[in-house]
Amino acid sequence: MRRLLLVALVALVAASPAVAGVRISGVDTSGYPQIRLTVVSPTQPRVRENGTPLVGAQTANLGRAKSVVLAVDRSQSMTGRSLRDATAAARAFVAAKGGHDRIEVIAFGREALGLTKFSSSGVDADAALAGLRADSRSGTALYDAIVRAAGALRREDQPGHVIIVVTDGRDVSSTATLDAAVNAANRARAAVYAIGIAGPDFTPEALRQLAARTGGAYLEAQSTAELAALYARISDALVHTWQISYVTAARPGDQLELRAAAPGQGSATRRFLVQTSGLNHPPSVQAPSVLPRSAWRSGTAPAVLALAVGVLVLLAIWFAMAARHGSWLSARIAPHLGTPQRLSSRGKRRRQGQSLRKAIVATTENAFANVRQFRALQALLTRADLPLLASELLYICVGAGFVPALFAAVAGAPAVLSLLLMLVGGSLPIGWVAYRARKRAKAFDNQLPDLLITIAATLKAGHSFRQAIQAVVEDGAEPAAKEFRRVLTETRLGRPMDQALAEMGDRIGSKNLTFVLNSVTIQRQIGGSLAGLFDMVAETVRQRQQFARKIRSLTAMGRMSAYVLGGLPFAVAILISVISPVYMAPLWHSSVGHDLVGLGFVMLAVGGVVLRKIVSFKG
């Protein structure tokens, strides 16, 4: 009867409002100059430092989107009913979690073991808790479990980080110390909520320190039957718990007074000294970054950064000197070119900007002139008939990739998304140029049979081959007229006709045109009737095009099947996710679901390659 009354009393306390007024439960200065303040308040509090409102503070409510690590003691002392009650209470907490909460389960006995990864679906966590068994070896690695949980939380992007630990004994087998566990939790911005199960070997002091020094709370259960009510009490407390992080201008050793107030709820004040001695970690100012924090903390980071700054300075000096040299040269030859025109200040600035741009472009062209990929990019621009240099397109790609990635990083997007935006944005200009090149080559192929017939008719009328090309230039359409006009211009400058035609074939990139040019070159070298050759080649090209169109029509059903089969999984996944997000949650938010998604992508890739081989034809 006494136990029933105690359980009812605990349940009444858990169901009652957990917060009355405002209370500062913890202040963490280990990440100096960043200070993390934990406030318990029914509404979002307003904080002042030495009477001045905070500027640039980041506020997170632990009851909203958060990452939670459930650390459950599975030592030998928990064997039997204690472990069953502990896992049942933890499973009830998982079942009642918010839709945006992510949970990971860690069990600790002789050593700490991670049973699941973070997931917004409770499937993995529930299965791991249901299958939890007591450790066969003696020992309780409480501090190791806290350090492991903190390490996992540091990789999480959720605004709230919480560690809930349940144990009935003291730490006896950890390699980490209490201070190391507290420091790890503070670096991860994690509040530790400790539940102690009273017993003969239980010492609550370590759990009290863990909770107090990380901004969490300590709760004690007289029996494992009370665990479910204590979990519910923690859930209610998290709704009213706020973590405020800000960068202070105070120096180490200064005394600060933090005052948290909520309208109509009162206020609370905490005075402390800013202390940073004895820390083994650098400041943990949380700022969005494309690179991981470990990259900036490495020993070679300062040297790499200094080298990068030096290279940028040298490039700036080089470009400035090149632009100045070009301006000096223009000024020296200007008197010999006639009366110079007076430019306004705006015109001078525009000309100086153009000179600097030309100097940068010319320097880049000279630096990458012998790179094969750079030459291929220039050939692609020529084939697309775009008035750009390869270096200009390169800078356009850099800008198109860097700008969206920068905005994504500033907005706090994940590093993977920023990198993906950078890759997609940088490849879009090249993709557009390639599309223009293919479209132009296809237009030339469609005009080729008519051009060959025109040349043959001109040759039959008694005109020369050059005059036949001139007729194509005068009567033909773009892009054929422009390309043959360039051939005539090159021949007037002294270039042999065969070389000019061969370069035109390389420039266009058409297989049919290459076939025609090879036939003409052979015929001009060995002699014979060019008019008859052009008639025969025109008929051959026309038949090849008709055959290609026929193949394309016969394989249209296969291509459409490939499009449908490739797009159907994505369409169905999006549709079901919109209609029933809960049904699709295990696929998106569990490790097994991620494996299935990866397997599906691999199978789609293999099927796409097979279907492409079936419907493609090279003739």
Sequence-distant contacts of 232-236: CB under 8 A, at least 24 apart: 232/14, 232/15, 232/93, 232/96, 233/10, 233/13, 233/14, 233/18, 234/93, 234/164, 234/193, 234/195, 235/63, 235/93, 235/96, 236/14, 236/18
Instruction: Please list the residues that pair with 104 across neighbouring strands.
Output: 69
Q: What domains does the chain contain, in order, with CATH numbers?
A: 2-273 (3.40.50.410), 437-554 (1.20.81), 558-615 (no CATH)
Q: What is the pLDDT of residue 42?
A: 86
Q: Residue 575: how many CB atoms within 10 A of its CB?
A: 11
- pLDDT digit string (tens) for 149-173? 999 998 888 888 999 999 987 888 8
CA 136/CA 122 separation, integer angstroms: 27
According to DSSP, residue 40 is labeled E
Q: Residue 133: how many CB atoms within 10 A of its CB?
A: 11
Q: What is the pLDDT of residue 323?
A: 53
Low-confidence ranges of the chain (pLDDT < 70): 1-20, 276-303, 318-357, 412-414, 416, 528, 617-619
Q: What is the pLDDT of residue 193?
A: 92
Q: Residue 113: how many CB atoms within 10 A of its CB?
A: 16
Residue type, 257: E
CA 180/CA 159 separation, integer angstroms: 23
Q: For every residue of 182-203, which 3-state class applies, written as one string?
A: HHHHHHCCEEEEEEEECCCCCC
Residue type, 174: S
Q: What is the pLDDT of residue 330?
A: 60
For 39, the token pair is 């406030």
For 14, the token pair is 């858990």
Q: CA torsion sign, 123 to 158 to 104 to 289? A: positive
Q: For every residue of 336-402, which 3-state class applies, written as one string?
A: HHCCCCCCCHHHHHHHHHHHHHHHHHHHHHHHCCCCHHHHHHHHHHHHHCCCCCHHHHHHHHHHHHH
For 324, the token pair is 């100045």
For 375, the token pair is 């030459």
For 241, the token pair is 């718990």
According to DSSP, residue 411 is labeled T
* C-alpha 99, offset from chain centre: 23
CA 247/CA 253 separation, integer angstroms: 16
**pTM score of the predicted model:** 0.49
CA 538/CA 560 separation, integer angstroms: 32
